[in-house]
Amino acid sequence: MKLSDIASILGVEFKAKDIEIKSMNTLKDASKDELSFVSNSKYVKDIALSNAAAIIVDEKTKDAVPNGCVALVVENPYWSMAILSKQFAPLIEDNTLADAKIGEGSKISDKAELANGAIIGKNCTIMAGAYIGTNAVIGDNTVLYPNVVIYRDCIVGDDCIIHANTTVGSDGFGFATNKLGQHKKIYQNGNVVVEDDVEIGSSTTIDRAVFGTTLIKTGTRIDNLVQVGHNCEIGEYSVMVSQSGLAGSTKLGRNVVMGGQAAAAGHLEIAAFSTFAARSGVTKSIKENGLTYAGFPLMEHRTWLKLQSRIAKLLK
């Protein structure tokens, strides 16, 4: 879209040089033909380092936008970003693309559906009811059980197993809210990448990123009924047990173990080789490697055991 058209959609006065904007992105990742936004004061410091062609800001933040970058000044930048996310959303399916490509030795059920532009590797098994979206890629030797759904643009690596009814690439839970309490959908225009040798249980959901990628790294094991939010990253050989979950933009290091019903809040970073007992509630980043935690509020597992022992004695 032309930057002038974007300004018109937002109802913003536009006097700068008009350029073509190809997409939206975060401040850190935006390129010279992309648009970004600032809706939280803690990200103001990133404005000066951004390569974005234009940034959506409010009155308080506009002076932080450097020369050469266009400031689109609005009342509610997050709401405006949500409006524009729809403009940059790709087609759900693109029937102008070529038919799906299927690698040698792959077995595709007659009841599975492959959208135009999909690519299936060699020696894959795709069972009845599975759906592979536009431009999705499935690596070699991968098995998709019945009713697995891989949304458009998502990538699944080699030697993966995804069990029945699991969805990879559904929209993350994202919306903006205005002062009247109305909600505006934020279109999730990123994707999901599942690297090699990953097994995912049944009825699990892995949300696509708003921008960029939700990443499941090599060797990860995910149980049934697990929720992975948008823009999360799960480190190599990590384990997520049934009914555990990650809120958006949380990053797990290598070999992290999340016990049953354990959960992490959003925008956290979890150190490698951390272990969380069942029903742990993680609300802060974990910086030290290799410790085991339990409870809510979260504490080291040994401390939690001592606490439970003392509570039990009080009840006698």
- C-alpha Rg value of the chain to the nearest Å: 22
Pairing of strands 191-194, 245-246: unpaired
What is the distance between the alpha carbons of residues 47 and 27, in angstroms, rounded to a whole number? 7
CB 151 within 8 A of CB 168: yes
Tell me whether residue 230 is one of the annotated catalytic residues: yes
Report helix, strand or coil for 80: helix
Task: Identify the CA nearest to 298 among candidates 251, 270, 230.
Answer: 270
What is the distance between the alpha carbons of residues 112 and 115, in angstroms, rounded to a whole number? 10
What is the distance between the alpha carbons of residues 81 and 25, in angstroms, rounded to a whole number? 10
CB 253 within 8 A of CB 233: no
Q: Of the residues 163, 183, 230, 301, which is catalytic?
A: 230
**Residues with catalytic function:** 230
